[in-house]
Structure 1
């Protein structure tokens, strides 16, 4: 099914997630007519779904946007890239409505088979806070971006901050603010996020000792 035929088919399809099946009929996937794409370095995998009013924006200094195959990005989510940042998302990942990805300065890299609930936000940078200067005029800085590994589940309203890696199979509870690394298969909740359980039965204390914040050596 070609692009025009896909758009025509959407007129007779239910709204919202009811249109997801349209992406299967066209190798190029389905991009809603109301979506806005302003990106001159965009790579799209097969059978993607981009819902209503999704925005993908890249400014002149931004890097690329890469979206893997069978990815779904639902209504009103925003992906913006600029200032040396880039955005990468792996195959079979689903992004629910009203999520915000602001890849300025640092890269946002999301793995395969990731589930991201509505209203999650990702910020791989911070503003300078030098006293005596307007914050809005201070440069933004990054600690190295954000990495979400494969098979991760982020609950409603999770915020992921600069320099964070969330490991394979981790689960982050609704409303958590993640400001440090989360190991593989950990379940973390709260503000800031804290680990409450391991999915794989491995002792949580052993995993915590692997994190830099719990493994500081004294310098004699």
Structure 2
């Protein structure tokens, strides 16, 4: 699949489908009704190896892009990607997103150099960024001319939750059911079921220690 958005007839059909549907997140219902899912007319897809599960939802102005050497993007069943999110692969990187995962508005997921693997049932809040690579900083050349380097892949376990504005860097594994507080920068592994906050993120407690009626701050 390689295209700059939907074709003419696809855009017309999609717009017709939305005439009687409520706006924004409520349009997820359109994806649930159709195994082929719902891809908004303003979505831009430029990728030769995009593998879509059933009932996918891509909201307005989502961009799916492949740079040179970019590997596949695989989205499991009922993955929801909300508006203004950008998803890219390049330079040998690839992306897998498990079923029932939701990626909320304005996220940036750049799978360059190494894979990003996101499990099932993960919640990624608005304005999160996943960057498994960096630029070199050797003093003999400008930053723009530096090669890309990576400490390793990013892995996010099933059922994890990333709060608003979380940044995850390379070589990090976030465990199953872990919670990352808003605005945190994750530079090292987070165990299963842990709650981590801060810059850099550090574990403050385990979910098993928190009453169900309380949320982490």
TM-score by length of 1: 0.88
CA distance in 1: counterparts of 2:13 and 2:53, whole angstroms: 20
Offset, 1:4: 6.5
The correspondence for 1:163, drawn from 171, 175, 184, is: 171
Rg bigger for which structure? 1
Offset, 1:83: 0.5
Residues 1-220 of structure 1 correspond to what in structure 2 (within 5 A)? 6-201=14-209
CA distance in 2: counterparts of 1:50 and 1:183, whole angstroms: 30
CA distance in 1: counterparts of 2:200 and 2:144, whole angstroms: 25
**What SS does structure 2 have at the residue aligned with 1:200?**
helix
**What SS does structure 1 have at the residue aligned with 2:208?**
coil
Unmatched 5+ stretches in structure 2: 1-9, 210-217
Asked if structure 1 preserves the Cα contact closer than 8 Å seen for 2:11 and 2:41, the reply is no
CA deviation string 1:125-156 (max 9, x = no partner):
11111112111101011122100010000000
CA deviation string 1:92-149 (max 9, x = no partner):
0011100000111121110000000000000001111111211110101112210001
Asked if structure 1 preserves the Cα contact closer than 8 Å seen for 2:184 and 2:198, the reply is yes
Unmatched 5+ stretches in structure 1: 202-220
CA distance in 2: counterparts of 1:44 and 1:172, whole angstroms: 27
**What SS does structure 2 have at the residue aligned with 1:63?**
coil
CA distance in 2: counterparts of 1:27 and 1:3, whole angstroms: 18
With over 3 angstroms needed to count, the CA separation of the structure-2 counterparts of 1:60 and 1:131, relative to structure 1, is closer
CA distance in 1: counterparts of 2:196 and 2:160, whole angstroms: 12
**What SS does structure 2 have at the residue aligned with 1:66?**
strand
